Amino acid sequence: MAAAAADAAVKVAEIRDLTRIERIGAHSHIRGLGLDDTLEPRQTSQGMVGQLQARRAAGVVLEMIKGGKIAGRAILLAGQPGTGKTAIAMAMAQALGTDTPFTTLAGSEIFSLEMSKTEALTQAFRKSIGIRIKEETEIIEGEVVEIQIDRPATGTGAKVGKLIMKTTEMETIYDLGNKMIESLTKEKIQAGDIITIDKATGKITKLGRSFTRARDYDASGPETRFIQCPEGELQKRKEVIHTVSLHEIDVINSRTQGFLALFSGDTGEIKSEVREQINAKVSEWREEGKADIIPGVLFIDEVHMLDIECFSFLNRALENELAPVVIMATNRGITRIRGTHYSSPHGIPLDLLDRTIIISTSPYDERDIRDILKIRCEEEDCEISDDGLLILTRIGMEASLRYAIQLISLAYLVATRRKGTEITVEDIKKVYTLFLDEVRSTAFLKEYQDQFMFHENPEQSKFPLFTYIIYSISMPLTHLH
Ligand SMILES: Nc1ncnc2c1ncn2[C@@H]1O[C@H](COP(=O)(O)OP(=O)(O)OP(=O)(O)O)[C@@H](O)[C@H]1O
Ligand SMILES: [Mg+2]
């Protein structure tokens, strides 16, 4: 089974290689929490601006997570809309790096998947637990002396060939099968390359080119890495480390899903027996020193969208031995808990709040807004004039930070249309009149609401007037009695 998991790890790594896309998103300017070595936040660093208190707190939590010892803690980021809660969570993900699993889930996603709410949550929990598997494999590492490929005279049938490899001390000839020939061609391996071949999987990795070939520099291109020819034996034992999530092991070992399900993401429900077996195996490997558990982070954004069943699931799941650190975010005040008639702070039941530590975020001042907008302009590759930034900051203060961020790319489009190179006040004015913010849109609706469908402004609705009439008629009657 350890071999199965290692095999799974290789497959998962291959899939991950396929799906790496970078785009400019709402938080793509954020590269970390921007803290110094003593965990003090810098005013502006790594794309983060201000919000010092919350960033300081997030830094402490980050250290706790990095330690890898603590699991099953819940942290709540609470604050007004647009105060950087999601941004801080993304910064934590960046700071943790790729080796610690970080799963993001929006509260409302639970209800749209084709599986039960608790299954979706369980999968999210297990995606956030990493298993680091140590494995010894045999590899062949050396410099390629020669590759001979014999094509069959008939033109069809399997190719065969020979590969001569050497270290500083020895030289060996290996027979090549069809598959190995294909991989050698795919990796464009030639004489003079230093390569490793994994004996179990046949995977070939090119490490660089031998120094002895440095004089062929012109032919090899500027990005070629030159390295020494390896010493010692050609065959070596090497420890390789794979990190996979518990969920990935679940899927690969689940007979009804299989490994291909990872491609589509459509993993369906996983039987609890499979999970129990995997848990047992993982703790066995842990005792044998073959695997380490890395508790990662599950980030549940818009957590107030969860309902009472999900909340009680969270209560229990947090106490599990294999639980990640759960970070939640909400912008709600005292509101109804979904699925009940009761109200609670942030729409979260008190028993879950009791297990939670709360980090609060507060609205930004003018300087912070200006700095965030400036960073966003750089991120979106838009030049802006000084007074343009001033006006945009004003809009950010009066409408909202998000609205001002949205205007950047729109205004830049207008600027490029008039063949300008930077956003000016005029461009901003233009998009400001073209696109309404929430406040102006509401004002507009209030003014013209009787021309819209389903309007319900209490000031103009007929119902209060009607009750008023009834009330004023009945009052004198009751007085008579
Ligand atoms: N301190 C900050 N530094 C840099 N960018 C920030 C900061 N705070 C917020 N932003 C950016 O401002 C925008 C709005 O912030 P964010 O989405 O994090 O708000 P939020 O608190 O999650 O709001 P909501 O409650 O509506 O989800 C995002 O594009 C975010 O990247
Ligand atoms: Mg958010």
Cα(444) to centroid(ligand 2), Å: 27
For residue 179, what pLDDT is reported? Answer: 83
Q: What is the mean pLDDT of the chain?
A: 82
Domains assigned to the chain: 2-132+243-360 (3.40.50.300), 134-241 (2.40.50.360), 366-442 (1.10.8.60), 448-479 (no CATH)
Token pair belonging to 169: 């001390």
Q: Other C-beta atoms within 10 Å of 406: how many?
A: 17
Higher pLDDT: 305 or 160? It is 305
Say which residues have a Cβ less than 8 Å from residue 80's Cβ, sequence separation at least 6: 331, 361, 362, 363
Percent of the chain with pLDDT over 70: 82
| CB 372 less than 6 A from any atom of ligand 1 | yes
**Positive or negative CA dihedral for 241, 243, 248, 254?**
positive
Does 462 score more than 50 pLDDT? no
For residue 290, what pLDDT is reported? Answer: 84
For residue 79, what pLDDT is reported? Answer: 92
| CB 107 less than 6 A from any atom of ligand 1 | no
Ligand 2 (ion): residues with CB under 5 Å are 86
For residue 473, what pLDDT is reported? Answer: 42
Q: How far apart are CA 379 and CA 385, in angstroms?
A: 16
| CB 331 less than 6 A from any atom of ligand 1 | yes
Ligand number nearest CA of 376 is: 1
DSSP per-residue letters across 429-463 = HHHHHHS--HHHHHHHHHHHGGGSTT---TTT-HH
| CB 86 less than 6 A from any atom of ligand 1 | yes
7-17 average pLDDT score: 57
Token pair belonging to 23: 């785009």
Lowest mean pLDDT among 101-115, 121-135, 286-300: 101-115
294-300 average pLDDT score: 90
Lowest mean pLDDT among 59-63, 213-217, 258-262: 258-262
Does 262 score more than 60 pLDDT? no
| CB 230 less than 6 A from any atom of ligand 1 | no
To test the ligand 1 pocket, which listed residue (370, 401, 403, 408) has its Cβ within 8 A of the most ligand atoms? 401
Q: Are 167 and 234 in contact (CB under 8 A)?
A: yes
Q: Which residues of 62-72 are buried (b: 16+ CB within 10 A; e: fewer)?
A: beebeeeeebb
Ligand 1 atom nearest residue 85's Cα: 21
* Residue of minimum CA distance from atom 10 in ligand 1: 84
380-399 average pLDDT score: 90
Is residue 165 helix, strand or coil?
strand
| CB 27 less than 6 A from any atom of ligand 1 | yes
Distances, alpha carbon 100 to alpha carbons 6, 106, 130, 253, in Å: 18, 20, 7, 22
Q: Are 180 and 166 in contact (CB under 8 A)?
A: no
Say which residues have a Cβ less than 8 Å from residue 354's Cβ, sequence separation at least 6: none
State phi, psi for 167 to the nearest 5 degrees: -115, -170
Ligand 1 atom nearest residue 47's Cα: 4
Q: Other C-beta atoms within 10 Å of 151: how many?
A: 12
State phi, psi for 329 to the nearest 5 degrees: -140, 140
For residue 57, what pLDDT is reported? Answer: 93
Q: Are 34 and 375 in contact (CB under 8 A)?
A: no
Residue 10 burial by CB count (10 A; 0-12/13-18/19+): exposed, middle or buried? middle
Cα(317) to centroid(ligand 2), Å: 24
Cα(216) to centroid(ligand 1), Å: 52
To test the ligand 1 pocket, which listed residue (30, 42, 86, 377) has its Cβ within 8 A of the most ligand atoms? 86
* Digit-coded pLDDT (tens) for 326-384: 999 999 999 999 989 999 999 999 999 998 999 999 999 999 999 999 999 999 888 89
Q: How far apart are CA 140 and CA 236, in angstroms?
A: 6
Is residue 84 helix, strand or coil?
coil
Q: Which residues of 274-298 are buried (b: 16+ CB within 10 A; e: fewer)?
A: bbeebbebbeebeeeebbebbbbbb
Helices (H), 97-240: 109-112, 117-127, 178-186, 217-220
Token pair belonging to 41: 């936040």
| CB 396 less than 6 A from any atom of ligand 1 | no
Q: How far apart are CA 58 and CA 83, in angstroms?
A: 14
| CB 401 less than 6 A from any atom of ligand 1 | yes
Distances, alpha carbon 33 to alpha carbons 87, 146, 243, 326, in Å: 9, 51, 24, 18
| CB 242 less than 6 A from any atom of ligand 1 | no
- Spatial CA neighbour of 308 closest among 344, 333, 337, 343: 337
**Nearest 5°: CA angle at 36, between 384 and 325?**
100
Q: Are 204 and 118 in contact (CB under 8 A)?
A: no
Distances, alpha carbon 105 to alpha carbons 54, 111, 193, 283, 318, in Å: 21, 11, 45, 27, 16
Q: Are 367 and 322 in contact (CB under 8 A)?
A: no
Q: Write the DSSP symbol of residue 37.
A: T
Q: Other C-beta atoms within 10 Å of 234: how many?
A: 19
Beta bridge partners of 169: none
Does 291 score more than 70 pLDDT? yes
